[in-house]
DNA sequence: AAGCTTTTTCACAGAATTTTCACATTTCAT
DNA sequence: ATGAAATGTGAAAATTCTGTGAAAAAGCTT
């Protein structure tokens, strides 16, 4: 039996919400609805939808913020996101795409276009992740460290590491290129995007924190004096 | 079929002119001759030689002026230029190198040295612009020396060199243009940026340190008396 | 808005590196 | 050969870098 794919619709206008929902369900997708950015983040974190349709104009948190959080704080790089926008103002759309949205649908759009986009993106997402691994999850393995990006969980020597969002992001970045030395600025860019305003030293604190939580494995995060940090690959 | 490379020889002494021409043509290079700076500029502008051998002592316009014009007025940063000097005036050689000459040959020089330098420089020039992604961009290989920028590791004869950040930086700079002579000031700029306030002599100490760590390979870092240092390319 | 968590900044100590300095040694031109 | 100039070198001095604990700031939840 085929697993039903779930689409999260983030949209504050009820009419459009209904419209989208109708067409997607007709095609056999499960849908979830929400009207604000904070709800959206909540749902994404807890229910793991397979795709997100994201309106950029939202109350409270803007769509851009949602995107940023999903991509950089949670490292859910694989979650397909389609931006839906009524904006004549293209800036947001461009920002959105640069932040890693997978596609963009201008309003108004025809149901056919909508469904076609959703289908295409889901197909691509499923093939790209399944080629990576025998198993379905998107995980990183380095020695005794295991990181599951989709579930947002990390394990060292089999036991779970209780990491904050940025600690997780940091460890993921380092461990996904073992042996590579990252400068503090590269780490900041990798975690938060290019123009995130923090002192380089803040990275040191995060590093210390992850090391401590990794216990004996903490020394796998190497300090490269005068340069930055790296995750050890060779024993 | 291999494209014949053209070398412009700027030299006012006819004997030396002939000598150089003879050896270069024997190696299969096309040559152009001229005896003054203004002629040189003319030819460079109109005929686009692949490399220039530039005597610094010239009538009318000095070699330094030619260099300046080529580098800064025409922006021909890629054109390889080798300074040929009778060595009475070290100052000029240093000025020349800092103005962006790619190398310098003290007179008198052996034909072998001449040809080797021309070859090396042409090879470097052709690979640096056209073949960017043949190999890993951040791997440098020179003889038994291997430098991995990404991992920030260096190996000599297979065993790792434990280098400090600036030693690594220094070795990388020299080894990424084997055979090229760097003045101490160029090294400082290359390592730390343009306005880094240190004595030139501090470079000597770093050099000594890298040499020591390279053990038997230490003598691959050549002292070019009165000018600076270079990493040996030809065995 | 209050209370909790996470993230960033700050300041200081300890380490490691980098530079300077003084003197020995080498090189080059005469 | 000889002397001036340039480089080699060991050790001291100065600087820079990292680890940390704690405070401040920023985010989130209720």
Interacting residues of A131 by C-beta distance below 8 A, sequence separation 6+: none
Confidence of residue B44 (pLDDT cuts 50, 70, 90): very high
Contact A217, A145 (CB under 8 A): yes
- Whether the pLDDT of residue B165 is over 90: the answer is yes
- Whether the pLDDT of residue B133 is over 70: the answer is no
- Whether the pLDDT of residue A102 is over 80: the answer is no
In this complex, do A230 and B151 lie within 8 Å of one another by their Cβ atoms?
Answer: yes
Give the whole-angstrom CA distance, residue B38 versus residue A69.
62
In this complex, do B165 and A225 lie within 8 Å of one another by their Cβ atoms?
Answer: yes
Pairing of strands B228-231, B182-183: antiparallel
Give the whole-angstrom CA distance, residue A189 versus residue B104.
41
What are the pLDDT digits (tens) for B192-224?
998 899 999 999 999 999 999 999 999 999 999
Comparing A9-13, A137-141, B112-116, the range with the smallest average pLDDT is: A137-141
Tell me the average pLDDT across B108-115. Answer: 82
- Phi/psi for B201 (5° steps) reads -65, -20
Tell me what pLDDT residue A166 has.
93
Residue in the structure block whose two tokens are 């024993």: A235
Question: Any alpha helices (H) in chain A, and if so which ranges?
Answer: 14-26, 37-47, 63-68, 90-98, 111-130, 165-175, 184-192, 201-214
Whether the link from the prior residue into A108 is cis, omega within 30° of 0, is yes
Nearest residue: Cα versus C1' of C28 = B225
Give the whole-angstrom CA distance, residue A122 versus residue A169.
25
Comparing A33-37, A154-158, B182-186, the range with the smallest average pLDDT is: A33-37
Give the whole-angstrom CA distance, residue A2 versus residue A88.
39
CA distances from B141 to B150, B171, B191, B194, B210 (A): 14, 12, 19, 27, 17
- A202 CB less than 7 Å from any atom of strand C: yes
Contact A206, A156 (CB under 8 A): no
In this complex, do A230 and B150 lie within 8 Å of one another by their Cβ atoms?
Answer: no
Give the whole-angstrom CA distance, residue B235 versus residue B220.
9
For residue A197, give the nucleotide whose C1' atom is nearest its CA: C8
Contact A68, A193 (CB under 8 A): yes
Tell me the average pLDDT across A192-209. Answer: 92
Tell me what pLDDT residue B132 has.
43
Closest partner CB to A180 (pick from B151, B165, B166): B151
Interacting residues of A17 by C-beta distance below 8 A, sequence separation 6+: A9, A11, A33, A35
Global confidence as pTM: 0.75
Is residue A223 within 8 angstroms of chain B, CB to CB? no
Nearest residue: Cα versus C1' of C26 = B225
- A227 CB less than 7 Å from any atom of strand C: no
Domains of chain A by start residue, with CATH:
6-130 (3.40.50.2300), 139-231 (1.10.10.10)
Give the total residue count for chain B: 235
Of all residues in chain A, the one with the smallest CA distance to B152 is A181
Tell me what pLDDT residue B63 has.
85
Greater confidence (B17 vs A203) lies with A203
- A211 CB less than 7 Å from any atom of strand D: yes
Average pLDDT, chain A: 81
Tell me the average pLDDT across A74-86. Answer: 74
Query: Strands of A103-106's sheet, edge to edge?
Result: A30-34, A6-10, A51-55, A81-85, A103-106
Tell me what pLDDT residue A130 has.
43
- A195 CB less than 7 Å from any atom of strand C: no
CB half-sphere exposure, B6, CA atoms < 13 A: 10
- A201 CB less than 7 Å from any atom of strand C: yes
Give the whole-angstrom CA distance, residue A99 versus residue A58.
17
Closest partner CB to A226 (pick from B150, B151, B164): B164
Comparing A17-21, A122-126, A212-216, B231-235, the range with the smallest average pLDDT is: A122-126
- D chain positions with any atom within 7 Å of a protein CB: 6-11, 17-22, 28-29
Comparing A65-79, B46-60, B184-198, the range with the smallest average pLDDT is: A65-79
Whether the link from the prior residue into B108 is cis, omega within 30° of 0, is yes
Chain B residues with CB under 8 Å of A229 CB are none
Chain A residues with CB under 8 Å of B152 CB are 181, 224, 227, 230
Is residue A108 within 8 angstroms of chain B, CB to CB? no
Confidence of residue B135 (pLDDT cuts 50, 70, 90): very low
**A225 CA from D18 C1′ (Å):** 8
Of all residues in chain A, the one with the smallest CA distance to B163 is A225
- B202 CB less than 7 Å from any atom of strand C: yes
Confidence of residue A145 (pLDDT cuts 50, 70, 90): very high
For residue A41, give the nucleotide whose C1' atom is nearest its CA: D28
Tell me the average pLDDT across A39-52. Answer: 81
Best of B151, B162, B165, B206 to mutate (most A CBs within 10 Å, chain A): B151
Tell me what pLDDT residue A185 has.
94
Cβ–Cβ pairs < 8 A, chains A and B: 18
For chain A, give the percent of residues with pLDDT over 70: 81
- A206 CB less than 7 Å from any atom of strand C: yes
Chain A residues with CB under 8 Å of B165 CB are 224-227
| Most distant pair of Cα atoms in chain B: their distance | 54
Chain B residues with CB under 8 Å of A226 CB are 164-166
In this complex, do B150 and A224 lie within 8 Å of one another by their Cβ atoms?
Answer: no
**B208 CA from D10 C1′ (Å):** 11
- C chain positions with any atom within 7 Å of a protein CB: 5-11, 16-22, 27-29
Average pLDDT, chain B: 88
Confidence of residue B125 (pLDDT cuts 50, 70, 90): confident
- Whether the pLDDT of residue A96 is over 70: the answer is no
Tell me what pLDDT residue A131 has.
40
Alpha-carbon Rg for chain A, nearest whole angstrom, is 19
Q: Residue A16 burial (CB < 10 Å; 0-12/13-18/19+)?
A: middle
Question: Minimal CA–CA distance to B163: which of B146, B180, B143, B181?
Answer: B146
**B209 CA from C29 C1′ (Å):** 30
Tell me what pLDDT residue A125 has.
67
Query: Strands of A228-231's sheet, edge to edge?
Result: A182-183, A228-231, A221-224
How many other β-carbons are positioned within 10 Å of the β-carbon of residue B72?
Answer: 12
Interacting residues of A85 by C-beta distance below 8 A, sequence separation 6+: A55, A56, A57, A92, A93, A96, A104, A105, A106, A107
CA distances from A125 to A29, A80, A93, A153 (A): 15, 7, 21, 20
For chain A, give the percent of residues with pLDDT over 90: 31
Of all residues in chain B, the one with the smallest CA distance to A222 is B151
Tell me the average pLDDT across A1-14. Answer: 78
Tell me what pLDDT residue A73 has.
62
């Amino acid at each position: 039996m085929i697993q039903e794919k779930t689409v999260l619709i983030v949209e504050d206008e009820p009419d459009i919400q209904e419209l989208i929902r109708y067409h997607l369900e007709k095609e056999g997708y499960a849908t979830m609805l929400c009207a604000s950015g904070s709800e959206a983040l909540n749902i994404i974190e807890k229910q793991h939808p397979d795709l997100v349709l994201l309106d950029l104009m939202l109350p409270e948190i803007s769509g851009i913020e949602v995107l940023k959080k999903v991509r950089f704080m949670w490292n859910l790089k694989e979650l397909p996101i389609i931006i839906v926008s009524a904006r004549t103002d293209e800036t947001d759309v461009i920002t959105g795409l640069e932040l890693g949205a997978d596609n963009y649908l201008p309003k108004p759009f025809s149901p056919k276009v909508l469904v076609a986009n959703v289908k295409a993106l889901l197909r691509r997402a499923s093939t790209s992740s399944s080629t990576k691994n025998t198993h379905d999850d998107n995980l990183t393995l380095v020695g005794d460290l295991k990181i599951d990006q989709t579930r947002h969980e990390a394990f060292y020597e089999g036991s779970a590491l209780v990491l904050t969002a940025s600690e997780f992001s940091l460890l993921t970045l380092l461990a996904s290129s073992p042996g590579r030395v990252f400068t503090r600025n590269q780490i900041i860019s990798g975690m938060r995007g290019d123009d995130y305003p923090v002192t380089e030293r803040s990275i040191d604190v995060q590093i210390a924190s992850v090391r401590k939580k990794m216990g004996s494995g903490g020394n796998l995060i190497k300090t490269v004096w005068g340069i930055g940090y790296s995750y050890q690959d060779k024993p």
